Amino acid sequence: MEWLKYLFIPFLMSALLTPILKKIAYQLDIYAEMNERTIHTKKIARIGGVAIYVSFIITMAMFVKVDDALNRILIGASVMFIGGLIDDMLNLRPKYKLAFQCAAALILISFGGVTLDAIRLPFGISIDLGLISLLVTFVWVIGITNAVNLIDGLDGLAGGISVIILVVIATLSLLEGRSDIMMLSLILAGSTLGFLLYNSHPASIFMGDCGALFLGFVISAISLLGFKSSTLITLGLPILLLGIPILDTISAIIRRKLSGKSFSDADKNHLHHVLMRRFGHRNTVLILYAVTGLFGLTAYLYIVNKSLGLIALIVMAIGVELFLEISHMISPQYHPILSVIDVVRKALKKPSLEDEIEEKLEEKLPEHEI
């Protein structure tokens, strides 16, 4: 049970630091902005990510013997954290935020040697990335960093999903004999759990960009460290584990592109917003926790039994696609599978699948007001 210390010690540090940060934020007037896109209706401190960062760094120094790659991860993560903290205090322009993210990613890739050299797919298919490996790694790090930041829209959502992902990565790392990745993942999970005591609904403090960007960066780096050399796990499984933030990010890009908006233009059509309008705040967070857990279970199942894992993955992919079409999360005109199903149902003289599902939801689950 020695691994418990990697969870408990950073958890305790973070739990003790977070109330102190709330007081500091109140004194310095560092609050989350309130506008038509936000959910909260009062001033809430937004530098809780400092507790996650400090607890993580101190615990790492106590227990982990770092190598060059890990040092560069910590340096890059620190650059990302500093950029996020400055943004929390001064509201940086998007281009300056992106500059910090690019700098952190380049530190990781150029000096840390953390890159994705090949992509291994099911059925023995392997793609050697060669010269574009640096570009793919760069896009992966920036993409996952921003994906975690984008889902930080409800109390406890980004932190809770990150903890689930990190615990699953720790479990998979043990199967692969990577105790170093297990320790790294558990320390970050413990640091985040301590903060979640105050961030769960109703939240009294937010992690802010300093926390969300830091979490996203470290998770992206851990996934590359843990999976790049594995014969069983490759980029596909990290993508599966990070299914919720990746799905939300891709949907936001397509949605804003179709509507002629910039990607930096925030809206209230993210996955958590769509679910919240139907199920309410707390239930939406629990639903997304459960779905993330299912993604993690599918990843584990794939390692134990590839055939069952692929079947589970296909079923989940179809479910996700149907949700995107029914919820109009991308666009009301986007419904390829539903169109085929409706053609068949009309031939059988039955109502459309979307109308049938909406009718049942309205009967059982009345819409919540935001």
Dist CA 14 CA 22 (whole Å) = 12
Classify the C-alpha dihedral 127-132-137-142 as positive or negative.
Answer: negative
Cβ atoms 367, 358 nearer than 8 A: no
The pLDDT value recorded for residue 89 is: 92
Give, for 79, the enclosing helix (H) or strand (E).
Answer: helix 68-90
Helix, strand, or coil here: 350? coil
Predicted confidence (pLDDT) at residue 166 exceeds the cutoff of 70: yes
Average pLDDT along the chain: 82
For residue 78, how many other CB atoms are within 10 A of its CB? 16
The pLDDT value recorded for residue 352 is: 67
Predicted confidence (pLDDT) at residue 103 exceeds the cutoff of 90: yes
Q: Considering only residues 156 and 299, tell me which one the structure prediction assigns the higher pLDDT.
A: 156
Note every long-range contact of 330-339, with CB atoms under 8 Å and residues 24 or more positions apart, other chains counting: 330/251, 330/254, 330/255, 330/258, 331/254, 331/255, 331/258
The pLDDT value recorded for residue 37 is: 54
Count of positions (residues) in the chain:
370
Domain ranges within the chain, ordered by starting residue: 4-271
Q: Considering only residues 258 and 311, tell me which one the structure prediction assigns the higher pLDDT.
A: 311
Region 42-67 average pLDDT: 92
Cβ atoms 326, 338 nearer than 8 A: yes
The pLDDT value recorded for residue 325 is: 80
Q: Where are the beta strands (DSSP E) in the chain?
A: 118-121, 125-128
The pLDDT value recorded for residue 216 is: 93
Note every long-range contact of 39-44, with CB atoms under 8 Å and residues 24 or more positions apart, other chains counting: 39/153, 39/154, 39/276, 39/281, 39/370, 40/203, 44/203, 44/204, 44/205, 44/206
The pLDDT value recorded for residue 323 is: 80
The predicted model scores a pTM of 0.83
Dist CA 304 CA 295 (whole Å) = 14
The pLDDT value recorded for residue 229 is: 46
Buried b (16+ CB within 10 A) or exposed e, 123-158: eeeeeebeeebbebbbebbbbbbbbbbbbbbbbbbb
Angular region, 123: left φ>0, alpha ψ -120 to 50, beta rest: left
Tell me, rounded to whole angstroms, the distance of Cα 8 from its chain centroid. Answer: 23
Instruction: Work out the angle at residue 269's Cα, subtended by the Cα atoms of residues 268 and 271, and round it to the nearest 5 degrees.
Output: 115
Q: Encode pLDDT of 105-132 as tens digits.
A: 999 988 656 777 666 655 566 677 777 8
The pLDDT value recorded for residue 226 is: 61
Dist CA 350 CA 345 (whole Å) = 5
Q: Considering only residues 361 and 192, tell me which one the structure prediction assigns the higher pLDDT.
A: 192
Q: Encode pLDDT of 191-249 as tens digits.
A: 999 999 999 988 999 999 999 999 999 998 888 876 554 444 445 566 766 777 777 77
Cβ atoms 30, 209 nearer than 8 A: no
Helix, strand, or coil here: 352? coil
Residue (of 52, 330, 321, 57) closest to 213 by Cα position: 52
Q: Encode pLDDT of 62-87 as tens digits.
A: 998 888 888 889 999 999 999 999 99
Q: Considering only residues 229 and 160, tell me which one the structure prediction assigns the higher pLDDT.
A: 160
Q: Encode pLDDT of 275-331 as tens digits.
A: 887 888 888 899 889 988 888 888 888 778 878 888 888 888 888 888 878 877 667
The two counts, helices (H) then strands (E), for the chain are 15, 2
Residues in a beta bridge with 120: 126
Classify the C-alpha dihedral 340-343-348-354 as positive or negative.
Answer: positive
